[in-house]
Structure 1
Amino acid sequence: MLEIEAQLAREELDLVNAQNRVQLAYLNLFQLLELPMAESFTIEKPSLPEIQANLTMINAYDIFSTAINVRPEIKAAQLRVESASKQLAIAKGGRYPSLSFGANYYNQYNNQYKIANETIDLGTQLKNNSRSSLGLTLSIPIFNRFQVKNNITNSELQIADYEYQLQQSRNVLRRDIEQVYTNALAALNRYISSDKAVASMKEAFRYTEEKFNVGMINSVEYNQSKTNLTNAQSNLLQAKYEYIFRTKILDFYNGVPISL
C-alpha cells in the first residue's frame, strides 16, 4: 500500500511539472508572437492523418529540381546573369557604327510685335515664326581610348561573377534540401520504430497487469511496466509531430503550400 501511495505522489509531481512546462511553453509562444499574456488563449489541435508505416517520401533530387524553379533567391540570381548578358551585348555594340535620327521644332510669340502699328495676332505669329529641322547622325568609332574594350571586359567579368553566385546559390539550396530530407527520413524511421515499441509495450503491460491482478508481481514491477508504456507513447507522439514538421519543410522547398 505504501508503495502505491509513493507512486501516486511521484505521478502527481510529474503532472505538476508537466503543467509548469506547458505554461512556460505558452509564455515562450506569447513572447515569440509579441503578444501579452492571455488566460483565454488556446491552441487549436489540428486533425492530422495517420502516418503509414510503409510511407515513402519523394527523393531529395526531385525536390531540388522543383526548388530551383520556384525559389526566389535562385530566380534573382538567374535574372542578374541575364541582365549582365544584356549589358555585355550593349557593350559590344560600341564596336559598330551608329546611326541616329533627330528632329527639332521651334516657335515664338511676342505681344509687342507690330507691323505698320498693327499688332500681329497669335495665329499669324506662330505660323510665320515656326522653324523645324530633321537630321541623321552617323558615328563611326575609330579610337576611344579602349573604352569599348574595357566595357566589354568589365561586362564579361560581371557575368562570370553572377554565374558564380548563381552556382553558389544552387549549391546552398541543394545542401539545405539534402539536410532537410535526411532529417525527415530520420524522423520517419524514428516514428516507425516508436510505433513498433508502443505495440510491444502495450502487449508487455497487458501481461504485467494480469500478473499484478493475481498477485504474481509487486507494484514496483507493475509501475515500471506502466512507465515504460507511457514513455513509449510519449516518444511516438514526439516522433509523429517531428516527422510532420520535417515534411512541411520539404513541402516549403517543393513549392507546396503549407497546411495541416
Structure 2
Amino acid sequence: MRDRIRYVIFGGVMLGLASLSAFAQDTLTLEQSIKLALKQNLEVQQSQIRTQNQAINLRQAKNNLLPDLNARLGHSFEVGRAIDPETNQYLNNVTNRYGNQSVSSSVVLFDGLRMFHDITQQAYAYRATQLDEQYAKEQITLNVTRAYIQALAARDVVAQADSLAAVMRRQVERSTLLFNQGASNPGDYYDLKGQYASDLNNLNEARNQYNEALVSLFQLINLPFNAETKLASFQELPLATTDTLTDEQLYQTAADRLGILKAAENWKKQAQFGLKAARSSYFPSLSMGAGLSSSYIHGNGAYVDQVRDRIGQNLGFTLSIPILNRFQVRNNVARAKLDLLDA
C-alpha cells in the first residue's frame, strides 16, 4: 500500500513538472501574461479574499435585523430532601427526575438606527473592496504590460548587439587574415579587436538586462523563472484620440474607469456611517421577546400529556437605557472619528 502511494505521489510530481516544462517552452503572449497574473498574483488574490470577506460582513449586517430563535432542553435528578413542584411541600428521601423544554425568540425593535447605519456602512465597505480589487487588477495589468514591453525592448537590444558583434567578428576575421599576411596596419588591427571586445561586452550586458526584465515579468506572473521562454511580439495598438475632450471630461472619464478614485469615495462614506453607527449606541434600545415552555416530572403521567398540559407562554418588552458603560460608547465614537479622518 505504501509503495502504491509513493508511486502515485511520484507520478503526480512528475506530471506537474512535465506540464510546467511544457508551459515554459511555449511562446508567452501579453494576453497570457495578464491572465496568468490576474489568476496567480498574490496581491490580486488577497484583494479578492478581502472582497469576499466584506460580502460576508454585509450579509451578517442584514441578518442582524432578523429575530433569533433558540430551543432549550433540560433534565435534572434530585436525591434526598426536595420540594414537590405541584404541592410545594417538602419531601424526604425522594429520588425525582425532572425535565423542561422551551423555545424563545427575540427581536430588536429600536436601537437608535445602529443596525441600519451598520448595513449602510458595510455596503459602502463592500463596494470599496470591490473597487480596490478592480484597482489591484488594473495595476497588475499595467505592471505586466510595462514589464512585457520592457522585456521586448531588451530583447531587441540583444538582437541589435548580437548583429553588431557578428558584423565586427567578420571584420576581425578578415583583418586577422590581412594582418597575418602583413597587409594590415597593426594599429587598425588592434583597434578593431578592441572594438569587437567592447561589442561582446555590450552583448553580454544586453543579455543580462533581458534576463532581468524576464525575471521581473515572471515575478509579476508568479511563475518560476525560465530563460528559455519566448515572448511573442504584438502589433501596435491604436490609441483613442482625446482631442475633443476637455480637461474636466478627461478627469471624469478617468474617475469612472479607475477603481482607486471611486474606492476612496466609498471608504469615506463607509467611515461616515461607521461614526453614525457608533453614536447610535447613545440611544436606548427596545427589544421584544416571546417564548413557549413546558416541563415534565417522572412518574406523574405520560410525557406527551404532561408537556401538553404544562405549556406556558410569555411575551415581554425590554428597554435598555445606557447610563454608564465604562465609556465604551464614547471611545468607540472617538475611534470612528479617527477612522473618518483617516479615510
Give your verdict on TM over 0.5: yes
CA RMSD in angstroms, aligned pairs only: 2.8
User: Per-residue deviation at 1:136?
Assistant: 1.1
Taking structure 2 as the reference length, the TM-score comes to: 0.50
- Determine the structure 2 residue equivalent to 1:60: 30
> Could you tell me whether the CA contact under 8 Å between 2:61 and 2:115 is conserved in 1?
yes
Which amino acid in the other structure matches residue 192 of structure 1? A
User: Per-residue deviation at 1:57?
Assistant: 5.3
- Determine the structure 1 residue equivalent to 2:48: 78
- Counterpart of 1:128 in 2: which secondary structure? strand
1:158 corresponds, among 119, 122, 125, to: 125
Separation in structure 1 between the aligned mates of residue 96 and residue 161 of structure 2, nearest angstrom: 95
2:207 corresponds, among 230, 234, 240, to: 240
How high is the sequence identity, in percent, across the aligned residues? 18
- Counterpart of 1:241 in 2: which secondary structure? helix
> Could you tell me whether the CA contact under 8 Å between 2:78 and 2:95 is conserved in 1?
no
Separation in structure 2 between the aligned mates of residue 254 and residue 77 of structure 1, nearest angstrom: 16
1:215 corresponds, among 163, 167, 182, to: 182
- Counterpart of 1:257 in 2: which secondary structure? coil
1:194 aligns with 2:161: yes
Which amino acid in the other structure matches residue 72 of structure 2? G
1:95 aligns with 2:65: yes
Separation in structure 1 between the aligned mates of residue 54 and residue 39 of structure 2, nearest angstrom: 20
User: Per-residue deviation at 1:153?
Assistant: 0.8
How many residues of Structure 1 are paired with residues of Structure 2 in the alignment? 192
1:170 aligns with 2:98: no
- Determine the structure 2 residue equivalent to 1:230: 197
Matches within 5 A, 1:39-58: 58=28
Change (3 A) 1:186 1:259: closer
Separation in structure 2 between the aligned mates of residue 56 and residue 257 of structure 1, nearest angstrom: 14
1:34-89 superposed Cα distances (whole Å, 9 cap, x missing partner): xxxxxxxxxxxxxxxxxxxxx99523332111111111221111111111111111
Which amino acid in the other structure matches residue 58 of structure 1? L
Taking structure 1 as the reference length, the TM-score comes to: 0.64
Change (3 A) 1:61 1:229: same
User: Per-residue deviation at 1:188?
Assistant: 0.7
Change (3 A) 1:236 1:148: same
- Counterpart of 1:140 in 2: which secondary structure? strand
Separation in structure 1 between the aligned mates of residue 58 and residue 75 of structure 2, nearest angstrom: 36
Separation in structure 2 between the aligned mates of residue 167 and residue 84 of structure 1, nearest angstrom: 15
- Counterpart of 2:101 in 1: which secondary structure? strand
1:109-136 superposed Cα distances (whole Å, 9 cap, x missing partner): 8xxx689xxxxxxxxxxx9365543221
- Determine the structure 1 residue equivalent to 2:323: none
Change (3 A) 1:114 1:107: closer
Which amino acid in the other structure matches residue 61 of structure 1? E
What 5-or-longer segments of structure 2 have no aligned partner?
Answer: 1-24, 83-93, 228-343
User: Per-residue deviation at 1:193?
Assistant: 0.9
1:157-202 superposed Cα distances (whole Å, 9 cap, x missing partner): 2112212321222222122212211221111101111111111001
